[in-house]
Amino acid sequence: MRKLIVVLALAFMVINLSAQLSNDSIQPTKTPQKVSFKDKLYTGGSFGLSGNFSDYMSLRVSPIVGARISPKFYSGLGLEYIYTKDKRYNKDISAHDYGARLFGQYNFIPQLFAHAEFAGYSYQSFFINGQTAGRNFVPFIWLGGGYRQYISNKSFFSVRVLFDVLQDKHSPYDSGEPVISVGFGVGL
């Protein structure tokens, strides 16, 4: 089942990445107009915060660069930085983790979108006593969706809810645990 989900997620990205470039700006418009590739680019990122905040907290910062590939499809690359503080053990643990991601978003309507991405992070591992156990590469396939609110013709604010469907044995997320992030985009 997991292999099927991986194949479907990757197929979704490949099909949408092969879509023809359109003559549209960041926000869909009623009348098509000639737009340069530079005008289809945007930058931004997201911010995520999870945990119960008394004994566990995880903060995620993710800058991105993306492009509007077609009127309904966005794609992009991003970097990730994750800071985790965990006080549930005898010794408090804090970790600095990092990685990268490739994503695609399909707009059902301008405000609602489906999201799929492949990401890989280098996570610091710890033994129960708090000693460092080394680093592990952890792959993720995130699936979910979100809401995008346009602020102007070339800028937007978004909220996403994603789920890790790959569930690598080193994943810090439990099966079915949502990751909620808030992001923004600004046309270049």
Tokens of 43: 């930058």
Q: With pLDDT > 70 as the criterion, what percentage of the chain qualifies?
A: 81
Number of domains within the chain = 1
Q: Which of 24-33, 70-79, 109-118 has the lowest mean pLDDT?
A: 24-33
Lowest mean pLDDT of 30-39, 41-50, 76-85, name the range: 30-39
User: The pTM is what?
Assistant: 0.70
Domain containing 7 equals 2-187
Which CATH number goes with the domain that contains 47?
2.40.160.20
**In 3-state terms, what secondary structure has residue 87?**
coil
- Tell me what the mean pLDDT of segment 92-119 comes to: 93
Instruction: Note the pLDDT tens digit of each residue in 121-138.
Output: 998 887 766 677 789 999
**Phi and psi torsions of 114, nearest 5°:** -95, 145
What is the distance between the alpha carbons of residues 82 and 90, in angstroms, rounded to a whole number? 22
